[in-house]
Amino acid sequence: MAQRLDGQAQQVWRQGDKAGAFARWRAAVQLDPNTAYLRFNWGLALQKTGNRWGAIASTGMLGGGLHPPKPLAIWGGMLLEMGYPQAALDLYERALSQFPHSEVLHRHLASFYLSRTEPTAAATHAHEAIALAPTAAAWSLLGSALGQQQRIEEAKAAFDRALTLDPHHLEAQLNLGCVHQEQKDLEAAIAAFRRGIDLATHQPNTGPLLAKAHFHLACTLLAAGRYQEGWEAYEWRWQLPGMSTLPAPLWQGEPVDRLAVWGEQGFGDVLQFVRFVPRVRSRCRELYLVCRPPLQSLLQDSLADMGVTVLSEPASLPAVAAHIPLLSLPRLLQTNLNTLPADVPYLRVGSGAIAAHPLPPAPIRLGLVWQSGAHNVTAFAQEKSCGWERLAPLVAALPQIQFYSLQMGGTSPLPDLTAHCHNFRDTAAYLQQLDGLIAVDTAAAHLAGALAKPTWVLLPYAADWRWGVDRPDSPWYRTLRLLRQPRRDDWETPVQEAIAQVAEFYGLRP
């Protein structure tokens, strides 16, 4: 009888009668409470409706007992999705003690540790899963663990193995594209992401992965300088989990009474893309720019003359006719490398702010930043930060220069200006007095570029899309020089190049 009710429940579920299906599964479990697959089917249906706690409770997991590996793995995944990582790990480990040879549990543990950026533990469980059952999913997880460890060639081999076993494995396909990005093989990355888009389009329930494929494709196209294609694909970011927008119609470029432009990403992104705001000022009677509080005073000083009101909280925004995210403006304006608004400076600091942050005189004064708080978009991105220890030889090699630290939260023997930097206007006031900046890829580099200060940017081997590939300059900022690692993890080479270029620029003998 319970088995027949389960069959009826599945049938009416497929017909769209969820209430009828739940009633039949509940009755089946009451008739046969010890049969795990009945609870599992009921819980799986509840999970599909978004009722994860109901799914877990319906399975009887919270009451303990012995359960098959697959439901235990799925329950752990539910706990992780709901923000209970320790509970998920406890469940996985308890389950593995009961089923030490469960390939599915090892795979879920590998996935868990990848989500926590613990690649060594992830690789251990991926290897265990492969030893038990060498599936495409297990090989893909191993590839991700190797990628997080910066073992890029080995990661590529693992993804290739996964795709040999299953050419339709979507995660492996997308991660292979990320590997190509890290190898700076942009054409191969573009082809891999396009293949991933094709796979995701023809597979069920792949919405987030489809958006991820388009987003990675966008970043690769932009890195290749194919801006118009890239901006189109970049709009897929709004389909990624966790992205939100304003409650107003999306602006299409038509004349409007009141328009809101808002910076939806990091500090560096806003500093880089705020250059587009003047291009749309004439299309609205009132223009509001919404940004995070540390940017407000600097952007208000810079945009006040053109009648732009800068707000730090969306709640302060009056009713608007339309809105547009700041990083969607290049697409709207059909921007390419030839039409990029590259005039600098486009940010400015009032004399009062500079007077409030005076620096003592010195023949040459340079700022240093060695730590980035930002993250690349690729799955296996290199560390953007080089650390003070790697910049110390530069300071020692150029004793004629007075160096200052602009590193928030940093520790070094240099005079530290950050105690007086409460927002980006304060930082800009110091930069205006400095003769230049040496920095890793972080917001300070964008700020210095937007102020037209001589700037040397130290970049990892596979840099973020905005810096292109291998070129020594930037179309976004004419005063920037890009110093790239010739190989992964080699910071010594760009630091030595910085020493030589700075010495030549200022007429010094290092």
Buried b (16+ CB within 10 A) or exposed e, 401-423: bbbbbbbeebebebebbbeebeb
343 Cβ contact list (under 8 Å, min separation 6) = none
Among residues 58, 53, 62, 27, the alpha carbon closest in space to that of 42 is found at 58
Is the overall model pTM greater than 0.75, yes or no? yes
Among residues 149, 189, 320, the alpha carbon closest in space to that of 246 is found at 320
Where do the DSSP E strands lie in 48-196? none
Side chain identity at residue 16, one-letter code: G
Q: Which two tokens stand for residue 151?
A: 């073992």
Contact between 190 and 173 under an 8 Å Cβ cutoff? The reply is: no
d(CA 271, CA 282): 21
- pLDDT tens, per residue, the chain with 510 residues: 667 766 776 676 567 776 776 676 567 666 666 555 555 565 655 555 555 544 454 555 444 444 566 666 666 666 666 666 777 787 788 888 888 999 989 998 999 999 888 999 999 999 999 999 999 999 999 999 999 999 999 999 999 999 999 999 999 999 999 999 999 999 999 999 999 999 999 998 888 899 999 999 999 999 999 999 999 999 999 998 878 787 889 999 999 999 999 998 899 999 999 999 999 999 999 999 999 999 999 999 999 999 999 999 888 899 999 999 999 999 999 999 999 999 999 999 989 999 999 999 999 999 999 998 755 455 566 789 999 999 999 999 999 999 999 999 989 999 999 999 999 999 999 999 999 999 999 999 999 999 999 999 999 999 999 999 999 999 999 999 999 999 999 999 999 999 999 999 999 976
R_g of the chain, CA atoms, integer Å = 27
Buried b (16+ CB within 10 A) or exposed e, 181-217: bbbebbebbbbbbebbbebbeeeeebeebbbbbbbbb
